[in-house]
């Protein structure tokens, strides 16, 4: 079972099944709702999502008819999205998870909509935390 919490901690979830079809989505809606280059999302079964606290804190924004992005109203963390055409599954926002998962992303999608500064440059330095030299007081 996977566990997750939103940024403020009011919304807590358990995911009681596997995560399927994990992708990095570069579409403009995912960029705007995440505030960054892309969102990493995967399908879960609706029956596998257990909201253990903060359900009343979750609101949604309907981006197109029947498609809703559900988020914490306190801290704005994305939690999942839903589609009325497929109520048996949800699209989990993987950033909410606190536990390691065994599944892995399979692809980048909507790369035609990607930000022009989003280059997947593997030659850039990679760090586990903030880059060295960053002034922590200005975070």
Binding stretches for Zn ion (CB under 5 A): 6, 8, 10, 25, 27, 30, 72, 74-75
* Closest approach of Zn ion to the CB of residue 64, in Å: 12
* Closest approach of Zn ion to the CB of residue 23, in Å: 9
CB burial of residue 130 (10 Å; 0-12, 13-18, 19+): exposed
* Closest approach of Zn ion to the CB of residue 6, in Å: 3
> Token digits for 67?
């498609």
Q: Beta strands 39-45 and 2-5: pairing type?
A: unpaired
- Residue (47 or 106) nearer to Zn ion, CB: 106
- Residue (2 or 78) nearer to Zn ion, CB: 78
- Residue (22 or 74) nearer to Zn ion, CB: 74
- Residue (25 or 44) nearer to Zn ion, CB: 25
* Closest approach of Zn ion to the CB of residue 38, in Å: 8
- Report CA dihedral (123, 124, 127, 132) to the nearest 10 degrees: 140
Question: Rounded CA gap, 68 and 5, in Å?
Answer: 19
């Amino acid at each position: 079972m996977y566990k997750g919490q939103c940024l403020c901690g009011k919304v807590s979830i358990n995911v009681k099944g596997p995560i399927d079809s994990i992708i990095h989505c570069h579409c403009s809606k995912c960029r705007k709702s995440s505030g960054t280059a892309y969102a990493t999302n995967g399908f879960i079964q609706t029956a596998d999502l257990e909201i253990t606290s903060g359900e009343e804190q979750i609101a949604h924004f309907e981006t197109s008819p029947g498609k809703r992005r559900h988020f914490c109203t306190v801290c704005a963390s994305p939690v999942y999205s839903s589609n009325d055409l497929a109520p048996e599954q949800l699209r989990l926002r993987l950033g909410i998870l606190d536990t390691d998962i065994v599944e892995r992303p399979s692809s980048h999608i909507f790369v035609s909509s990607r930000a022009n500064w989003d280059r997947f440059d593997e030659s850039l330095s990679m760090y586990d935390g903030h880059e060295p030299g960053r002034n922590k007081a200005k975070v």
